[in-house]
Amino acid sequence: MANRLKMKYNGLKILIKRVLSSSALLLLVVSLVFLIIRIAPGNPANKFLSPDLSPKLFEKIQERYAFDGSLPEQYFKFVENIFSGNLGYSITFKIPVTEVIFQFLSLTVILAIAAFITQTLISVILVFLTYRNKSVNNKIQKLSLIIYTVPSYVIGLYLVIIFSVLLGIMPISGLPDAQSAGILDYFHHLMLPVVTLSLPGIALFFSYLNDAVQKNKNEGYVLLFRSIGMSEKKIFLKHILPNSIVPLLSIVAIEVGFLLSGSLIVEVLYSLPGFGKLTFTAFMDRDYPLIIGTTLFTAFVMIFSNMAADLIKYYFDKRFRELI
C-alpha cells in the first residue's frame, strides 16, 4: 500500500515537472517563431498593397496580423493570442488558421494511423521470424540500417518508378473523393504514401525491438519455459515480446509525434492535401499566420508525445522509476 502511494505521488510529481518544463519549452518555441517571423523580410500586409488600398485599411490589416505597435507590444499580443487559441486568419485561405489546420489534418491522421499500424505489425513479425535465426537477423539488421538512412523522398521516387511507371498498378499522385470514387479507390491511392511513410519506421522499430528481444531471449524465465516444452511462438508472444516493448516507448512517442505533425515530404511528393502539404504551401505563399500555426502545432504534438512517453515509461518500466 505504501509503495503504491509513493508511486502515485512520484508519478504526480513527474507529471507536474513535465507539464511545467513542456510549457516553458513551448513558450520558447513561440518566442523563436515570433523572432524569426519579425526578422524575415517583408510584411504580411504587403500582400494586400494596391493603389486602391487606403492607409486606414492598411493599418487595420496590420492590426489584424499583430504587426502594429512596438516590438514588445507585438510580442505580448502575439503570446496572448497564441495561448488563448487565437492564431489569426490565414492570408491565403481568408479563414481562421485553426479551421485551416483542422481541414487538412484529417488526411494526415489517417496516414499516421495506417503507417503506425503497418510499421508496428511488420516490425513485430520480422523480429519473430528472425530472433532464432542469427544469419537472417544480421541481414535484416543491415537492410533496416540502409532503409533508415535513405531519405523518404528517394524511397518514394523509387516506389513511384517501380509500381506506378513500370508496373502501372499504383496511382502516381493525388487523391480522389472518397464518396464519388469509392472507399477502395481512396485507400488504393494511399497505399504508396503509407508504404513510403512506414519503411523508415519499420527499420527503426525493428532495430530497437530486435535488440530488446535478443537480450530477453536467453533470460532464465525463457529457458525455464523452453525446458517445460512451451512452444517458441507462445514464449515469444506471451513473455519475450511484452518484456521487450517497454524500451520502445520513447521511440514510439517520437515516431507518433513525427507522423501526426505531418510528413511534409511524403505529402508533397504524392500531392496529398494533408498537414505536411499545408505547411509547405504556407511557407511558399509566405502566409505568416499559417506558418506560425503549423509550426506551433508541430511543436505542441512533439512536446506532448514526449511528455506522454515519459509518463508511460514511469508506470511500466521499473528501471526508469529507479533512476528518478
Q: What is the pLDDT of residue 69?
A: 65
Between CA 188 and CA 209 the distance in angstroms is 30
Average pLDDT of span 54-77: 66
User: Of 3-7, 158-162, 200-204, 284-288, where does mean pLDDT reach its minimum?
Assistant: 3-7
Q: Quickly list DSSP for 17-57.
A: HHHHHHHHHHHHHHHHHHHHHHHSSS-GGGGG--TT--HHH
232-270: per-residue pLDDT in tens?
788 888 878 888 887 777 677 777 777 776 577 888 888
Between CA 298 and CA 260 the distance in angstroms is 8
24-57: per-residue pLDDT in tens?
888 888 888 778 777 766 555 555 555 555 566 5
CB 290 within 8 A of CB 297: no
Q: Report whether pLDDT(185) > 70.
A: yes
Q: What is the pLDDT of residue 180?
A: 63
Query: What is the CATH class of 98-323?
Result: mainly alpha
User: Of 12-26, 65-79, 193-207, where does mean pLDDT reach its minimum?
Assistant: 65-79
Residue 23, amino acid = S
Q: What is the pLDDT of residue 16?
A: 79
pTM: 0.77
Q: What is the pLDDT of residue 258?
A: 75
Rg (CA), the chain: 24
Q: What is the pLDDT of residue 122?
A: 92
267-290: per-residue pLDDT in tens?
888 888 888 888 888 888 778 788
Higher pLDDT, 56 or 159: 159
Within 10 angstroms of residue 225's Cβ, the number of other Cβ atoms is 18
Within 10 angstroms of residue 96's Cβ, the number of other Cβ atoms is 17
CA distances from 109 to 58, 205, 239, 297 (A): 38, 20, 32, 14
Helix and strand tally (H, E) in the chain? 16, 0
Q: What is the pLDDT of residue 55?
A: 64
At 263, is the secondary structure helix, strand, or coil?
coil
The cell numbers describing 11, all together, are 508519478
Between CA 195 and CA 187 the distance in angstroms is 12
